[in-house]
Structure 1
């Protein structure tokens, strides 16, 4: 094989993004003794039979009842800028994520017959450590992303994948007749530089919509939170548009790849202060 042929084949492999994903997996496996997360699955297929939507989940990590559902996004010289108005804390602990469990249906309480279970799920503001800034707006620029979808679309597909994963895992639990709730935390791991943009909204010109004064800060990871799904959770009963919008909110952890294993070492998912019962109880 000539050097030119080898170079062409290398460019094909590099363009696929698979080597970035494999490198992330290798890094997670090599540092497991430090962070304690297990790789539950990788390249895990998912599909929604009702609309034909389908794909693969890059990596699923497990620690106790928590699942980190990871999408790996390799970019070329890209910078993701998250917009954060002044006055908003950079130390946010809550992350709104899905939970799921199985409950025995009351009509089937019979010692003679096998119990029948139903899947219950919902969105909840868990405390996810470590803390980070939070934003609902992201401007993405980069030579490899000129014609690619916005972060909202990437997140949307990841959330749809979690919906299918949730059902698949709970169906397995139903067959085992084993009640063990799970929490699903969506994560995007990228080599893109993550920048936080601080500005004063009062100083934005209403004539041209441009910033007059701004500060930027490079961060290792950030919470991206907004109404990213059009479907209400199964346990929701909103009494207003505000309630409905809040129920549709989801938090996606966006993590720079160089910081991933350090963040995994310190990551904990728990109940908010002064809360005694998990939402599935």
Structure 2
């Protein structure tokens, strides 16, 4: 454990707050910025608009990389890593005010802003080193039961918005990925409008507290990621 209740400030959008827990691996390379959510007898239902459940290995993380004293990378990028798990961009939680911003989107956005603020804060320390790689991940650990709801979008009724058939399964963790940032990078005209969408997307790992230890043990970044960063 590196920090607890660590204050952060994001100068880009003038937001601030406190991070519950920051975990660091033994090599000082990977960090998990963790938000803890304790709820009683509650389930978070993640929607999967596909008949089959496909596990994903990619996730977006912040990377600070220095090579021979020069900045190799400083920003968000997609990485391949384990554990693979289902990915969803919609989550249903009961008891929320229908007019307020959904809880998971709000917490996820705060984690994104916190990582950017923490990366800025730590950057001068790593810039002093000749070679340094620092990768930051967003994680929510909760006592809520996590369920994956699989359905066929064609089965949704246009009359009442209900789905006629669906299946549910318990999952220990899930990748929650969607647009959580209102800021985008400079336009990349060669990649088209789809690039604007992808730059605002972020990945938040949502983990049931009972499986957090298993999640940490199986967490491993693909070796090809480090080779790619080192070759920039």
The verdict on a shared fold, with TM-score over 0.5 as the criterion, is yes
Residue 144 (structure 2) pairs with residue 192 (structure 1) = yes
Identify the range of structure 1 (57-66 vs 158-167) with the bigger mean alpha-carbon deviation. 57-66
Partner of 1:47: 9
Over 3 Å counting, the alpha-carbon distance change for 1:74 and 1:280 in structure 2 is farther
Q: Which has the larger radius of gyration?
A: 1
Q: Give the TM-score normalised by the residue count of structure 1.
A: 0.73
Which consecutive residues of structure 2, in runs of 5 or more, have no partner in the other structure?
Answer: none
User: How many residues of Structure 1 are paired with residues of Structure 2 in the alignment?
Assistant: 227
Which consecutive residues of structure 1, in runs of 5 or more, have no partner in the other structure?
Answer: 1-38, 105-114
Partner of 2:161: 209
Partner of 2:124: 171
Q: Give the TM-score normalised by the residue count of structure 2.
A: 0.87
Partner of 1:277: 228
Higher strand share: 2
Higher helix share: 1
Out of 44, 51, 58, which is 1:94 matched to?
58
Task: Compute the displacement of 1:276 (Å).
Answer: 4.5
Identify the range of structure 1 (118-127 vs 180-189) with the bigger mean alpha-carbon deviation. 118-127
RMSD over equivalenced CA pairs, Å: 2.5
Task: Compute the displacement of 1:260 (Å).
Answer: 0.2
Partner of 2:23: 61
Partner secondary structure for residue 108 of structure 2: helix
Partner of 1:254: 206
Task: Compute the displacement of 1:271 (Å).
Answer: 4.9
Task: Compute the displacement of 1:208 (Å).
Answer: 1.4
Partner secondary structure for residue 205 of structure 1: coil
Task: Compute the displacement of 1:77 (Å).
Answer: 2.1
Equivalent pair of 1:119/1:170 in contact (CA under 8 Å): no
Over 3 Å counting, the alpha-carbon distance change for 1:250 and 1:121 in structure 2 is same
Equivalent pair of 2:142/2:208 in contact (CA under 8 Å): yes
Partner of 1:243: 195
